[in-house]
Amino acid sequence: MSKIEIKNIYKIFGNYPDQILPMVKEGANKELVMEETGHTVGLDNVSISIKEGEIFVCMGLSGSGKSTLIRHINRLIDPTAGQVTVDGVDVLSLDDKEILDFRKKTMSMVFQRFGLFPHKTIIENVAYGLEIQKVPEDQRKEIAQGQIDSVGLQGFEHQYPAQLSGGMQQRVGLARALATDPQILLMDEAFSALDPLIRSDMQKQLIELQSKLKKTIVFITHDLDESLKLGDHIGILNGGRLVQVGRPEDIIMNPADDYVKAFVKDVNRTKVLRAQTIMTKKDQFDATNINPSTIYKIDENTMIEEIIPKVLKERCTMNVVDKSGNTKGYITSDELSEALTKH
């Protein structure tokens, strides 16, 4: 089921966006519009469907439109044209009171620079959204403590943000976003300001939390490795236009254009591709000349890096099976070599 539907969104920044819109619809790109009109194209006919319970990563270089896009979901920005729906509700039709209630109850946002209140303790920061919702004090403290525990900050409840490292502050920001139990998490470059090791730790933390909570998460980043690690699906923006949407494997194996190819050319495919992505399907595989003693079963979701030694060095064949043990296909050294060298 789709949780969020973004349909044919255009966003043009400037004094006369409605007058410029036909020019953009006729195909003028961001550079031409800026040169001839002084207006900035933020988004150009972007349509995305985000499923309930998935992490959808939107990525691109600076100025690609990714942060503009995420702000349409909670209507911090209104589009020049297009439609945004959440659970079938037309977000653009909500009045001021309705949009405030919608933001309070349906979604939370995690920012790059934490956005913590320096004069409030950690537990007060985490409980802030519940305070706005007028949840009784005892109840909100209990909920906030639970979220503090979930992000590994036990014992820091009564510290202040300035007493915590950057990574710890971002954990507080995540705990605060989760405290109101939102259906949707909007994460705008949430880990970009962190050191690499801390950033990797936060990525792992988010994956672990998501495995339990199953939130719908829209995650913005400019980092391809982060996209591939976190995303169930990835949307790539360039100059306000959506150039490709797909699973991490799809992006790696079949880049849509030269822009995407440039992004993925240095990716370590063995850490991204799964057995099911490169296997030859059962009904297309001839096992006649394969020695049965060199066939090993592996789960279809096994990462390629785990099977390289046996397949390439020992010249073994992998029998790819689903959770029930049914054969889905096979991987030989030829399939593996082709997958590692394609493009």
Report d(CA 217, CA 204) in Å as an integer: 15
pLDDT of 114: 65
What is the tens place of the pLDDT at every residue in 67-91? 999 999 999 999 999 999 999 999 9
What is the tens place of the pLDDT at every residue in 170-218? 889 888 988 888 999 999 888 887 788 888 888 888 898 898 889 999 9
CB 56 within 8 Å of CB 66 = no
Residue 330's domain comprises 275-341
Q: Running DSSP on this structure, what letter comes out for residue 309?
A: I
- The answer to the question of residue 224 being in a domain is no
- The answer to the question of residue 56 being in a domain is no
Joined tokens for residue 329: 């296909």
- The answer to the question of residue 121 being in a domain is no
What is the tens place of the pLDDT at every residue in 111-162? 766 678 999 999 999 999 898 888 999 999 999 999 999 888 899 999 999 9
- The answer to the question of residue 337 being in a domain is yes
* Range in 90-104, 208-222, 283-297 with the lowest mean pLDDT: 283-297
For residues 21-36, give the mean pLDDT.
95
Report d(CA 237, CA 7) in Å as an integer: 15
- The answer to the question of residue 304 being in a domain is yes
- The answer to the question of residue 177 being in a domain is no
Mean predicted lDDT score pLDDT of the chain:
89
CB 13 within 8 Å of CB 39 = yes
- The answer to the question of residue 290 being in a domain is yes
What own/partner pairs with CB < 8 Å and gap ≥ 24 does 159-166 have?
159/121, 159/122, 160/118, 160/119, 160/120, 160/121, 160/122, 161/114, 161/116, 161/117, 161/118, 161/120, 161/122, 161/125, 162/118, 164/122, 165/198, 166/114, 166/193, 166/194, 166/195, 166/198
Beta-bridge partners for 295: 317
Residue 343 predicted with pLDDT over 60 = no
> How many structural domains are present in the chain?
1
CATH code for the domain of 279: 3.10.580.10
